[in-house]
Chains A and B, each alone.
Chain A
Amino acid sequence: MMPVFELLRDDDKARTGNQILSRPGRILLVVGILGLAAAGPIAGSIQPFWVNLLVRMLAFALLALSLDFVFGYAGLLSFGHAAMYGAGGYTAALLVGQVTPNALVVLPASVLVGVVVAALIGWLSVRARGIYFAMLTLAFAQLLYVVVFTDLPATVAGVETVTGGDNGLYGIGSYELAGIGFGDPLAYYFLTLALVALSLAGLIRLANSPFGRVVQGIRENEERIEFIGYDVQRYKVIAFAISGGFAGLAGGLYVPFQSVANPGLLHWTVSGELVVMVLLGGMGTLWGPMVGAGLVVFLEDRLGGVASWEVILGTLFVLVVIFAPRGIAGALISLRDDPSGAVDNVKQALKNYVREVRD
């Protein structure tokens, strides 16, 4: 099916996909995480606000990571990841608000809800392929958005409010763990960083496991994997559910930190921006989309003060698609492989562009 996916595969995936598995790549990742751990206190001592921004960047990096696992590795374009993100977020909001602030209870619950929602959406959607799969995930995510927005659970259960409808849920407290409160942004930052690092390590292992190989095989050639005897649909649903678990975790980390859960978490534009972050970072590399997400959140925050940040952001996306379709990761990799050829590459890209437009 979708012969178009093959175009990406040939030159991108084989190379960028394996980069992360190499030894220097892993060392670089560990250095990066240690660097982030050091950056937190430094940023906090300069201006407490920076820690806040770092936590948001990490939460979105985790979300982008979860999408890249299902999109970059399994080849399933999900346009509804906001559903799992929002479901995880609302789970955390409701549990922290009404049951317990214990992170050991709430975060696993967020993950579980993410898995369940994703398994359901995945199970209903995997029969469709390509763009139709994307549109089905979008439809189910929007369904969930409407359910939360209109507070359907409250109507069904006959209580006054569950999701808080349009306004969402306010004043959600922070986590606690073994007597330690995470009300301090820096403590929360370390909690988030630790979980994001663990998630990344876990997903890298999973991508390399026999399960991950089958999933990548499905992306490469679905028919062949099916003929070998694997139940392709089941693998797809499981991959989608795993991804949903991490998306739920991202929501569970984001919401108590912001102390607000609103329907906007589930809106389709979140899913759309997420796809953009993944492509911007470089799909199929796991670390690229995290960088992309961090960068977009950072730019949104920094440029938010500048009047026309949306214009700048939109222009950035357009330029990346035209001139650097393999994203930040792709650009970095080609720079590493051939540092002296960088200028020539840019020239060549510009020449190609002019030729294509004239053609």
Chain B
Amino acid sequence: MIESIVRATLLGVQSGMILALIAAGLTLIFGMLDVINFAHGALYMLGAYFGSVIAVELGSFWLALLLAPLLVGVVGIAIEVFSLRPLYGRNPLYHILLTFGFAIMIQGAVVQIWGGQARQIAQPALLTGTLSLGVVDYPVYRLFVLAISTALIGGVWLAIDRSNLGIIMRASAHDTEMVDALGIDVSKVFTGVFVLGAVLAGLAGVLLGASRSVNPGMGMGIIIEAFVIVVIGGLGSFRGAVFSALLIGLVTSYGALIAPTLTDLALFGLMAIVLMVKPNGLFGATEAA
């Protein structure tokens, strides 16, 4: 009993932190760029596929973990510069249509290039096996994922909260024109934010790709979960995204203990309840712009 609860808690926190990596990018992009990025799941999937190819070709998980997210970042730059940039200031609906188009496009390209079968990313030898934590034995790889995603989330939070760049980012989310008037190239900041989100999604793709399978459905599957998280936390709120990612991670893993078929129901039910009580999410601004 205690064992399964501890296990579910660990699993919940770990999958929550991974979800936080994806949701953080999504919420930052919305907060700064006012863009609902439907292609975020596709970028995550792209990270997993790039990772699986690099892991096979170069034979190293670590190189995959390093290079795949950077490649996803390059794709992110291309999307931001060539398609989003001309659309800023327009109705956000257009961003939905645009990024939905990219999501379909990337998914189609992935099936075209790598086929419909699931692929694998081999876990590095260093991280195989389990570690005894007293009550439970837990896979080392999952502990590694927990550690690295927590470190990344902490790092991003510190960067946003403390660094000069973070101040510029928050300021341009608040008042783009003023920041522009102060002589800061806001469009570069926007590109940077989008790429940061893409890289985080790509990283999550590689990390999860090595513990689950890499398949063409993974992008469309995760994007809705990430949306639910971001909306519960409050669109644009970084704290909110991390908090509700952990919440959803735990709800899902405890739910799997109690009633596996109903966890999805709980997910959307939770979102509906939160939005009806707090229409702008838990950490959202009091009045949505």
Contacts and interface: CB of A to CB of B under 8 A. Distances in A.
Interface of A: 1-5, 7-8, 77, 124, 127-132, 135-136, 138-140, 142-143, 146-147, 150, 152, 268-269, 272, 275-276, 279-280, 307-318, 320-322, 325, 352-353, 356-357, 359
B85 A356 contact: yes
Interface of B: 34, 36, 38, 81-83, 85-87, 89-94, 96-98, 100-109, 111-112, 187, 220, 224, 227-228, 231, 235, 261-262, 264-265, 268-269, 271-272, 275-276, 279-281, 288-289
A132 B92 contact: no
Secondary structure of the B side of the interface? helix
- Nearest 3 Cβ contacts at the A-B interface: A310-B108, A314-B105, A317-B101
B101 A139 contact: no
Given A1-B288, A127-B276, A313 B93 contact: no
A313 B108 contact: yes
- Interface centre among A124, A143, A321, by most chain B C-beta atoms within 10 angstroms, is A321
B98 A308 contact: no
A28 B268 CA distance: 44
B272 to A, nearest CB: 5
B139 to A, nearest CB: 29
Contact of A321 (B98, B220, B268, B279): B98
B268 A142 contact: yes
Contacts of A315: 101, 105
Contacts of B82: 357
A310 B86 contact: no
Contacts of A8: 91, 93
B227 A135 contact: yes
Contact of B106 (A5, A150, A314, A321): A314
Contacts of A2: 288-289
A315 B280 CA distance: 33
Contacts of B90: 4, 7, 325
A154 to B, nearest CB: 12
A272 B38 contact: yes
Nearest to B270: A139
Contact of A268 (B96, B224, B269, B281): B224
Contact of B220 (A131, A135, A136, A269): A269
Contact of A275 (B96, B107, B228): B96
